[in-house]
Structure 1
Amino acid sequence: MITIAYLGCLGIACLVALTDWRKAIYWAIALDFLRDPVRKMTPDEPVLITVSVLGLWAVITLAAWSRSRRQIEQALKEHAKILYAFRLLIIAIIPGCVLSLVLYQGGYKMVALGTVSYLAPFAGIVLGYLISLRPKELGRIFQFYCLVNGIALISVVAEYCATDWPGLGGMRGMNWIRYSGGEIVQLIAGWYRSPDIMGLHAAQVVMFSLTLALQQPKRQSPFWLLLSGFGCLCLLLSGRRKMLGMPLVFVATLGLLCYGRKILRFQRVIMPVVMASLLLGGIFMVATEKYVSTEYTNFAGTMFTQGAERYQELVGGSVHHTISQSGVVGSGIGTATQGAYHLIDQKGLRSWQEDGVSRVFRELGIFGVIFIFLAGVSLIRGMGGAIAVVPRTWHGAVTQLAMIAIVVANLASFTVSHQQYSGDPSSGLLVLILLGMTLGVASLARVNFGTQRRSFSTELHPERDYTMPWGAMPT
């Protein structure tokens, strides 16, 4: 019954997308969470429920494309380097597609899986750009995401307290544990399908909430700071170091970007929020000693004592072994993508790539890696141009840099473990929506200020009324 209700909501959301794709994004965010408890409460736990939300995102993308072609064409002209990066990515995956078609029976399934995994997130850039053209939508989407997943994260505490709620814990037959320093760490998933997915959403809630605390009125900031603290608690219970590190990467990246742009609000606004977050974190660590078993805090501490060694082992060592096993041409697209075992005989996969870097080497080979690197360079140059046109004294400058910092934090997580992105393109889609929003903020700056690509120091004119990504400019 619950599966039928979920599929009914999914169908309604698709109809909403055909009439107003912007409203359908809120449906997609809600259904993105609901699919996990629904799948766990369905007898055979069909994987189709997990991937079903991709159909809604596809309808949203097609509806947005058909209704906003003029804006998309304008965006491609303004941000030509982003389009060039997309073309390089297409070139990169072609040899891998050919290999999968030739080497595997039913290889077209591998091609479809891998192609969607690599290219679907670029639809997020288009959606993010279009969303940002209505500035107030940016704050609303951030708030809705935080509220939906903030409520969902209550299930993490419920599972830790051994509450008998339906849908708690990982998938049936999975017992998520870690051994660390002679201690057993029971990983918590809550209503999400795995601790990895829960940790990813908890990390996003922390970063989104901190961004909202920077931009929302001061009377609302304490709420978002408290929500970010709750997200940190859930991160601790997830037992996933790669997720625990994401907010740290976010704060460090945002600080460096603001310092590099010489944003004067950095010390006045961002530093108090960071200090408040650190204070909240200290109180949180002291308070949790009484209510949270010490193995969770001990394991979280290994991120600092063992993190660098673990990263080198995962990325550097894995790349070396991957090239030794798959050669310079790789094994074909889709072979290291999460969910590939549903499509071909698992014996044909032969190895397992956990980190995102070795996954690219495995699937695309040296040729593909070179073009992926060139695409990344073009993307970075395009983002640099988008940053340059936004006046550093505008509120939108901090918003733009915060979204870039969130993308960087997700990229850092991807390099360590790609499964939560490659096996679930909607997670990657959400991250690339943020990247598209940063391009849209640049377009807003061009409209409001008439800035050119190389303008770094344009100042505000106090007599003009400006639009900012979170609504009207405060006076």
Structure 2
Amino acid sequence: MILLLLLVLFGLLALVLLSGDWRAGLLLTLVIGFLQDPIRKLTPGQPGLFVGLVLIAFLASALVLLQRRRGLLELPTMFWSAPALRRWVPLFVLLIVLQALHSLVRFGIPLRTVIGVGFYLSPLLGLWMGFQIGRDQSFLRRLLQCYLLGSALVAVTVFLDYQGLDFPLFREVGGGILIHFRAGFSVFGASGLWRTSELAAWHLSAAAALAIVMAVAVRNPQQRLSWLLLASCFALLTLTTGRRKGIVFLAVFVVVFVGLLARNTPRRSAARLLGILLSAAGLALVLVFLLPETILGDDFGAYLSRAATVQEDLLERFSVLGVRGFLRGLEISGGLGLGVGTLAQTGDLQVGAAAGEGFAFVSESGAGKLMAELGLPGLLILVAIGLALLRTVLRNLRLIRQLPPATASLELGLLAFSLAQVPFFAAAAGVYGDPFVLLLCGLCIGTVFAVPSLLGEYQQRQSLAAAALLPSPLPPPPVPTAPVGSSS
């Protein structure tokens, strides 16, 4: 059954890509991304390699697009606002190759090395594809809508899981983590078809944020209300996972998005966003108070209380997983790194090739994991890339102000979505072992690189429209001629 499903999915993907339709290939890639977790749950042994299905499909679509671009990566155009990236990105790729060989020789676990390489290269692949998609705003919106539709369908299974429906596909990979509540009971967080409650929390909070972006980027009041209602449902379901990091992500996203709109669009856009956010919060409160307890459950208040305690543990968590995790990663790396994939959380291989050495918590620290696997050389290159990315963002923000309001709001929302990932990565690096998550993040930030191209096309259309409105030049006055029969 599993083999047949895989054959159908990738057979359809092959037919679509052989026709050269990379856009349809990307839409099928989203379907594979949502199905890879239930497929893994149904497979005996639940092999961690299944998280790479979406990466295979995405890479195939990217290769078709590259062929249509005649093999041109268009890096000068993509990195127009930050030419330094053309030097640092190839150097980073070379470092990943060397650290992959290091990991393979040191630990001899090819699966872990492959997953580690995917962890570092997936964002770059998503970045390039996001740049290409960003130049086609209509398809970008369609892709986001398809992701939100898929998230809504899987979110229904999270709700059913929360309601206590005992179904094999709702059980977490690896057995799950028991969550303790102050009310005196313990439960496993709802995950639905997603493989863990932590991954469910990420997708639900990401979908809530993207639904808010779509609400801001549309003008139709009915469509805006629909996106707000969907965002409210996603936010409420995030609580049922028992993972408070999703709430942190949403809070950071809202702050960043409001700040970007306030500084880079007319004041009415920021005021509109505040109104939209208040409307979304109001809808969520209405749902909480109006829905009967048979739907919300008797213990939903305990989930709300647990979410309210996030502020108490926030600084401690970032101190432990941020500062201490980084220092521990520096200590165990020996300065040169242990190799990519060393701390990969792959389910069957658990927390890393060095698990017996007492630093498993480093795998949950984003900075600690990067330091442990790549060492100081990798950290220095990543700092250089980060500074170049920051320079790109600042330069492109000035260009976004000249785009049409709907396009500018969408791009600022995707930028806010990408920036809000930073603290989430610092406190929950494990979820970023999923290439689906990494590709989505890369796609969102990649669209920002397309802003100069978008602006150039927009200004060209404006010039053509202005030229079409100009009156036709007057014909030259006729040359006077002498009357017939007159003498000179």
Q: Deviations over 1:244-292 (max 9, x none)?
A: 2111111110111122225333344212112212322433454579424
Alignment of 1:257-406 (within 5 A): 257-286=260-289, 290=293, 291-292=296-297, 293=299, 294-339=301-346, 342=349, 351-352=359-360, 353=362, 354-392=364-402, 394-395=404-405, 396-406=407-417
Q: Which residue pairs with 2:170 in the alignment?
A: 168
Q: Which amino acid aligns with 1:250?
A: F
Q: Which residue pairs with 1:16 in the alignment?
A: 16
Across the aligned residues of Structure 1 and Structure 2, the Cα RMSD in angstroms comes to 2.8
Tell me, in whole angstroms, the C-alpha distance in 2 between the residues paired with 1:143 and 1:347: 40
Q: Does 1:133 align with 2:141?
A: no
Work out the number of aligned pairs and report it: 454
CA contact (8 A) 2:336 2:377 kept: yes
Q: Which amino acid aligns with 2:333?
A: S
Q: Which amino acid aligns with 1:89?
A: F
Tell me, in whole angstroms, the C-alpha distance in 1 between the residues paired with 2:34 and 2:348: 24
Q: Which amino acid aligns with 1:154?
A: V
Q: Does 1:240 align with 2:243?
A: yes
Give 1:157 shift: 1.1
Q: Deviations over 1:404-423 (max 9, x none)?
A: 011112232111111222x2
- Stretch moving more, 113-122 or 180-189: 180-189
CA contact (8 A) 1:355 1:414 kept: yes
Residue 78 of structure 1 aligns to a residue whose secondary structure is coil
Q: Which residue pairs with 2:151 in the alignment?
A: 149
* Counterpart among 444, 453, 458 of residue 443 in structure 1: 453
Closer, same or farther in 2 for the Cα pair 1:104/1:444, shift >3 Å?
Answer: same
Q: Which residue pairs with 1:231 in the alignment?
A: 234
Closer, same or farther in 2 for the Cα pair 1:95/1:58, shift >3 Å?
Answer: closer
Tell me, in whole angstroms, the C-alpha distance in 2 between the residues paired with 1:73 and 1:203: 32
Closer, same or farther in 2 for the Cα pair 1:168/1:115, shift >3 Å?
Answer: closer
Q: Which amino acid aligns with 2:39?
A: V
CA contact (8 A) 1:111 1:334 kept: yes
CA contact (8 A) 2:76 2:86 kept: no
Tell me, in whole angstroms, the C-alpha distance in 1 between the residues paired with 2:96 and 2:2: 39
Q: Does 1:425 align with 2:432?
A: no
Q: How much identity, in percent, do the aligned residues show?
A: 24
Residue 363 of structure 1 aligns to a residue whose secondary structure is helix
Structure 1's unaligned 5+ residue stretches are 452-459, 466-475
Tell me, in whole angstroms, the C-alpha distance in 1 between the residues paired with 2:124 and 2:445: 9
Residue 222 of structure 2 aligns to a residue whose secondary structure is coil
Q: Which residue pairs with 1:4 in the alignment?
A: 4
CA contact (8 A) 2:79 2:449 kept: no
CA contact (8 A) 1:84 1:375 kept: no
- Stretch moving more, 289-298 or 125-134: 289-298
CA contact (8 A) 1:84 1:378 kept: no
Tell me, in whole angstroms, the C-alpha distance in 1 between the residues paired with 2:55 and 2:429: 18
Give 1:143 shift: 0.9
Residue 332 of structure 1 aligns to a residue whose secondary structure is coil
CA contact (8 A) 2:113 2:342 kept: no
Q: Deviations over 1:43-87 (max 9, x none)?
A: 443334332222111111111111124573562463434434423
Tell me, in whole angstroms, the C-alpha distance in 1 between the residues paired with 2:30 and 2:46: 21
CA contact (8 A) 1:3 1:38 kept: no
CA contact (8 A) 2:47 2:347 kept: no
Residue 128 of structure 2 aligns to a residue whose secondary structure is helix
Tell me, in whole angstroms, the C-alpha distance in 1 between the residues paired with 2:279 and 2:343: 41
Q: Which residue pairs with 1:25 in the alignment?
A: 26
Q: Which amino acid aligns with 2:385?
A: A
Tell me, in whole angstroms, the C-alpha distance in 2 between the residues paired with 1:332 and 1:207: 34
Give 1:461 shift: 8.9
Q: Which residue pairs with 2:478 in the alignment?
A: none
Closer, same or farther in 2 for the Cα pair 1:307/1:66, shift >3 Å?
Answer: same
Tell me, in whole angstroms, the C-alpha distance in 2 between the residues paired with 1:333 and 1:38: 26
Tell me, in whole angstroms, the C-alpha distance in 1 between the residues paired with 2:36 and 2:401: 41
Tell me, in whole angstroms, the C-alpha distance in 1 between the residues paired with 2:388 and 2:353: 37
CA contact (8 A) 2:343 2:354 kept: no
Q: Which has the larger radius of gyration?
A: 2
Q: Which amino acid aligns with 1:339?
A: T
Give 1:98 shift: 5.3
Give 1:397 shift: 1.7
Give 1:147 shift: 0.9
Tell me, in whole angstroms, the C-alpha distance in 2 between the residues paired with 1:212 and 1:429: 19
Give 1:402 shift: 0.5
Q: Deviations over 1:121-174 (max 9, x none)?
A: 211111112112222111111111111110111011111112244522212x61
- Stretch moving more, 244-253 or 282-291: 282-291
CA contact (8 A) 1:85 1:379 kept: no
Residue 164 of structure 2 aligns to a residue whose secondary structure is coil
Tell me, in whole angstroms, the C-alpha distance in 1 between the residues paired with 2:75 and 2:376: 33
Closer, same or farther in 2 for the Cα pair 1:95/1:288, shift >3 Å?
Answer: farther
TM score, norm. by length of structure 2:
0.85
CA contact (8 A) 2:197 2:241 kept: yes
Tell me, in whole angstroms, the C-alpha distance in 1 between the residues paired with 2:221 and 2:256: 23
Q: Which amino acid aligns with 1:359?
A: K
Q: Which amino acid aligns with 1:117?
A: F
Tell me, in whole angstroms, the C-alpha distance in 2 between the residues paired with 1:42 and 1:104: 26
Q: Which residue pairs with 1:56 in the alignment?
A: 57
CA contact (8 A) 2:402 2:455 kept: no
Tell me, in whole angstroms, the C-alpha distance in 1 between the residues paired with 2:404 and 2:78: 24
